[in-house]
């Protein structure tokens, strides 16, 4: 009826606004200072951020840079290694990349994990935007990966079923709110021990976004993965820090390694 149509229109409008807000890098305005650069709470295009970071990388002293800067350097180097030249053995490369996600400054491990999770959630927001037309409340009324896995949304007072796209948006929005919480993460350079428990639950829920996309929207997954290698990096990071039990990593390794440019056809 007319009432249902209006309700559906309001829901779609709400999703669109939510995605638009998630797409903005609201915390990552980079400003030049006397010693390198720092993050400010203003908007900045991702392309501008990448260009600025690329320009600054050579001038940053790894020994004195902040954890945020160190993660930015690491991300740039990983993406460069994935796009620079064909890789002979992707399985060995994946194992090597997993070891590369171990924090080089052990005393800053919590801040290192926090910053990587924050960056991954931003990238997943881009994937959510790519899903907005293919993944709808009608096409995916439940949040599933395989038929064996159906997920309840924890964004409500009591966990309940949500359509896949609502689950994705609620998860990304909840992650953003939690990582910006003054109670649990008052200063991302020094993470309270009581807040570390959230890293596992955040990464498990974010991984579900990737797994739903892989099993239900494979063409979108492959296109996005070939450009960003997000799933490969996310799984390597999660394995490096034991954030997701192996039995829950249901995307086959070949599913994301096949998007890596290789010098042979084997994966």
pLDDT in tens, 96-146: 889 989 998 888 899 999 999 999 999 999 999 999 899 999 999 999 998
Share of the chain above pLDDT 90, in %: 45
> The tokens of 6 are what?
């209006």
**Angstrom distance (rounded) from CA 209 to CA 175:** 12
154: DSSP letter:
T
Whole-prediction pTM: 0.76
**Angstrom distance (rounded) from CA 237 to CA 98:** 6
* Residue bearing the bigger pLDDT, 143 or 38: 143
3-state secondary structure 165-213: HHHHHHHHHHHHHHHCCCCCCCCCCCCCHHHCHHHHHHHHHHHHHHHHH
pLDDT band at 61 (very low <50, low <70, confident <90, very high): low
SS3 35: coil
Residue with tokens 């209006």: 6
SS3 264: coil
**Angstrom distance (rounded) from CA 60 to CA 255:** 35
Gyration radius of the chain's alpha carbons:
19
């Amino acid at each position: 009826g007319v009432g249902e149509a209006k309700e559906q229109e309001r829901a779609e409008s709400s999703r669109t606004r939510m995605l638009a807000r998630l797409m903005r890098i609201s915390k990552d305005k980079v400003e030049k200072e006397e010693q390198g650069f720092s993050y400010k709470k203003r908007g900045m295009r991702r392309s501008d951020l990448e260009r600025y970071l690329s320009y600054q990388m050579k001038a940053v002293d790894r020994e004195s840079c902040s954890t945020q800067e160190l993660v930015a350097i690491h991300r740039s180097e990983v993406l460069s290694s994935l796009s620079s030249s064909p890789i002979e053995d992707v399985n060995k490369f994946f194992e090597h990349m997993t070891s590369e996600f171990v924090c080089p400054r052990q005393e800053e491990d919590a801040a290192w994990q926090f910053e990587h999770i924050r960056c991954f959630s931003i990238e997943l927001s881009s994937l959510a935007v790519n899903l907005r037309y293919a993944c709808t409340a009608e096409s995916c009324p439940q949040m599933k990966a395989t038929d064996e896995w159906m997920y309840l949304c924890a964004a409500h007072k009591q966990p309940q079923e949500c359509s896949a796209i609502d689950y994705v948006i609620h998860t990304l929005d909840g992650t953003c709110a939690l990582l910006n919480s003054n109670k649990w993460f008052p200063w991302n350079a020094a993470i309270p021990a009581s807040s570390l428990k959230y890293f596992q639950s955040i990464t498990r829920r974010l991984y579900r976004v990737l797994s739903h996309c892989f099993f239900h929207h494979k063409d979108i997954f492959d296109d996005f993965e070939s450009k960003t290698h997000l799933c490969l990096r996310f799984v390597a990071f999660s394995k490096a820090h034991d954030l997701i039990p192996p039995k829950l990593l249901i995307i086959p390794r070949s599913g994301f390694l096949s998007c890596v440019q290789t010098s042979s056809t084997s994966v």
